């Protein structure tokens, strides 16, 4: 059944129960609270920013947005992009798109103006919904973006090149739209990139979304009494589909803005969270703050917290060992997945398998896995090959890219591009990546983009970017730079030049030497990784 049925069920059964909380403990609510209500002498009381909606209101907002879309000519199969930071409006808008029969197209909020335009044209979107943070980026190409597309603004003071979300939905019906949706209908497009860094549009059916939701609830035994703390951005398949376990369970979730250790523990304590999904840097920061004595567990209500799970990047076993020392009663899980497999969980460790930390785990709920050689034949247990997965969450295709689809989907199997091995107990371990993507703090960084940028420097002859092990981020970017003959170039010059890159793409290390290339002209990155200790970042540590 379509995942929208779960929302409608919850709205019927749990109408007045809180579904979502938006929380920003580091920001004061600018809405003035009634001073008389609190017996204050003057109206100066402010509270940390916090909003909530019930399941009934959630469903009504989704219906209003869906009916607005239909009224503006959006029809089944059209595409609606969402470019917003996490907020209470995000998920009702997403579900409104699904209810209308249109295809939801979340955009990465890190995209610059050029990437927004590229993805809008690649996915052939018919509408872009955006919030105040993106006015400048949308305005850069407003003329091109508005050709054949509607631009909808969510916030106050709507710019002249867009239409106001609040005004458009105000008079729309809160009743379910009369649109038939089946598991086989197209539901969403997510973006991913290969080693070149150019996004590919990943098309999923409604079946994939429902699979991801039901799998998450199954893997983590999410129940009605649980409260899930969601910190990562909702455009990310990981964040959204981990939250969907709460949707299936009909339980509460908190959208937290802020990743500081104190912010996370305060949210867990005040909102009584039971399940928390972290990225490696955030878990590392919490442990470091506890070790330094900057935080004390006894200052927070944490006894209800039952599960911490991690995804989006390799997890050092030593980190989990430290975590269990601080939180011995916590269950732990890690999830492996790709946007092509509807996010995390096609392989997962399992809460009962903490003794296997370092592995990505076993096939997830309703999934199959195999490891194949260069010819597509299965390798023997213990041998290294490419990991392939198969299940009801596999993408339909790369939208408008038949060649890439044919390379990745073969006889129903998704070829992940990740090299892995299976041990004698049936657990899968990643040992290397065919792709050169660097995963730093849960974000994908694409070396070719940075290399091309570095080569623009007048003193740079060649450049190669690799990932180096980093205790906090998992990996950090390192740029190997070959300087032009008879020229001198300093680290300070390159650092200053790299200010032209987005902050998260700027290399953290710079190494000046000749770039090794093979006979066909390709950079020999395996040699560089070996030389600088970056090979086999995963699976080398143990819990002992």
Half-sphere exposure of 399 (CA within 13 A, CB side): 25
Q: Give the residue among 533, 491, 485, 487 at the shortest CA–CA distance from 512.
A: 491
Cβ atoms of 379 and 385 within 8 Å: the answer is yes
* Sheet-wide strand order for 79-83: 163-164, 150-153, 127-130, 79-83, 103-106, 186-193, 199-205, 397-398
Q: What is the pLDDT of residue 313?
A: 66
Strand partners, 512: 481
Q: What is the pLDDT of residue 168?
A: 96
Q: What is the pLDDT of residue 436?
A: 74
Q: Is the dihedral of CA 90, 68, 5, 346 positive or negative?
A: negative
CA separation for the pair 286, 109 (Å, rounded): 25
Question: DSSP readout, 185-221?
Answer: SEEEEEEEE-TT--EEEEEEEHHHHHHHHHHHHHHHT
Q: What is the pLDDT of residue 28?
A: 63
- 61 to 11, 143, 213, 463, 538: CA distances (angstroms): 11, 30, 21, 50, 43
Which helix (H) or strand (E) segment is 23 a member of?
A: strand 18-28
Ordered structural domains, the chain, with CATH: 4-258 (3.40.50.12780), 307-433 (2.30.38.10), 442-531 (3.30.300.30)
- Helix 237-249 to helix 4-13 angle (10° resolution) is 40
CA separation for the pair 342, 210 (Å, rounded): 10
The pLDDT tens digits along the chain (544 residues) read 999 999 999 999 999 999 999 998 766 654 444 434 333 334 444 456 899 999 999 999 999 999 999 999 999 999 999 999 999 999 999 999 999 999 999 999 988 999 999 999 999 999 999 999 999 999 999 999 999 999 999 999 999 999 999 999 999 999 999 999 999 999 999 998 644 457 899 999 999 999 999 999 999 999 999 999 999 999 988 889 999 999 999 999 999 999 999 999 999 999 999 999 998 878 888 998 999 899 999 999 999 999 999 976 667 787 899 999 999 999 999 999 999 999 899 999 999 999 999 899 999 999 999 999 989 999 999 998 899 999 999 999 999 999 999 999 999 999 998 888 999 999 998 876 666 778 888 777 878 778 878 988 989 888 999 999 888 888 899 999 999 877 899 999 999 999 999 888 899 999 999 988 754 456 788 788 888 875 544 332 322 2
C-alpha torsion 27→31→34→37, nearest 10? -40
Half-sphere exposure of 273 (CA within 13 A, CB side): 28
429: Cβ contacts below 8 Å, ≥ 6 apart: 358, 359, 360, 420, 421, 422, 423, 538, 539
Q: What is the pLDDT of residue 34?
A: 40
Backbone φ/ψ region at 474: left (φ over 0), alpha (ψ -120 to 50), beta: left
CA separation for the pair 123, 269 (Å, rounded): 41
Q: What is the pLDDT of residue 540?
A: 29
The token pair that represents 257 in the structure block: 């803005």
Q: What is the pLDDT of residue 212?
A: 97
DSSP 3-state assignment of 327? coil
């Amino acid at each position: 059944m379509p995942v929208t049925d779960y929302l409608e069920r919850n709205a019927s059964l749990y109408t007045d129960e809180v579904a979502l909380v938006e929380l920003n403990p580091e920001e004061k609510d600018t809405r003035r609270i009634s001073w008389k209500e609190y017996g204050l002498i003057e109206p100066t009381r402010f509270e940390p920013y916090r909003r909530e909606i019930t399941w009934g209101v959630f469903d009504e907002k989704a219906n209003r947005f869906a009916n607005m879309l239909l009224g503006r000519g959006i029809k089944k199969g059209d595409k609606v992009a969402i470019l917003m930071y996490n907020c209470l409006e995000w998920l009702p808008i997403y579900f409104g798109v699904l209810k209308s029969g249109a295809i939801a197209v979340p955009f990465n909020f890190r995209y610059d103006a050029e990437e927004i335009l590229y993805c809008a044209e690649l996915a052939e979107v018919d509408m872009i919904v955006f919030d105040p943070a993106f006015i400048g980026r949308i305005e850069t190409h407003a003329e091109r973006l508005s050709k054949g597309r509607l631009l909808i603004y969510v916030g106050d003071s709507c710019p002249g090149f867009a239409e106001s979300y609040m005004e458009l939905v105000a008079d729309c019906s809160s009743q379910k739209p009369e649109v038939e949706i089946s598991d086989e209908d197209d539901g969403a497009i997510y973006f991913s990139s290969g080693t070149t860094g150019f996004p590919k549009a990943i098309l999923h059916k409604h079946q994939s979304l429902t699979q991801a939701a039901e799998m998450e609830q199954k893997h983590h035994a999410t129940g009605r009494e649980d409260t899930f703390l969601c910190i990562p951005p909702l455009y990310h398949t990981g964040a959204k589909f981990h939250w969907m376990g709460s949707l299936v369970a009909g339980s509460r979730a908190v959208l937290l803005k802020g990743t500081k250790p104190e912010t996370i523990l305060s949210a867990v304590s005040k909102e009584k969270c039971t399940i928390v999904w972290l990225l490696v840097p955030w878990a590392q920061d919490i442990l470091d703050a506890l070790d330094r004595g900057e935080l004390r567990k006894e200052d927070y209500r944490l006894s209800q917290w039952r599960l911490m799970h991690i995804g989006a990047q390799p997890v050092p076993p030593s980190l989990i060992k430290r975590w269990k020392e601080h939180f011995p009663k916590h269950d732990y899980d890690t999830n492996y997945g790709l946007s092509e497999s509807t996010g995390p969980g096609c392989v997962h460790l399992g809460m009962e398998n903490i003794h296997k930390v370092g592995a990505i785990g076993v096939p997830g709920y309703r999934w199959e896995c195999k490891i194949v050689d260069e010819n597509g034949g299965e390798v023997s247990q213990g041998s290294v090959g490419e990991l392939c997965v198969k299940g009801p969450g596999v993408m339909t295709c790369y939208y408008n890219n038949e060649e890439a689809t044919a390379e990745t989907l073969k006889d129903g199997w998704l070829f992940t591009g990740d090299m892995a091995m299976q041990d004698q107990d049936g657990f899968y371990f990643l040992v290397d990546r065919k792709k050169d993507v660097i995963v730093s703090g849960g974000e994908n960084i694409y070396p070719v983009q940075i290399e091309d940028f570095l080569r623009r420097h007048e003193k740079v002859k060649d450049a190669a970017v690799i990932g180096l092990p980093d205790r906090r981020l998992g990996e950090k970017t390192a740029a190997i730079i070959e300087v032009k003959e008879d020229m001198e170039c300093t680290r300070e010059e390159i650092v200053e030049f790299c200010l032209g890159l987005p902050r998260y793409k700027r290399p953290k290390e710079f190494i000046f030497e000749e770039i090794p290339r093979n006979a066909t002209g390709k950079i020999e990155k395996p040699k560089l990784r070996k030389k600088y200790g970056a090979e086999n970042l995963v699976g080398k540590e143990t819990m002992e």
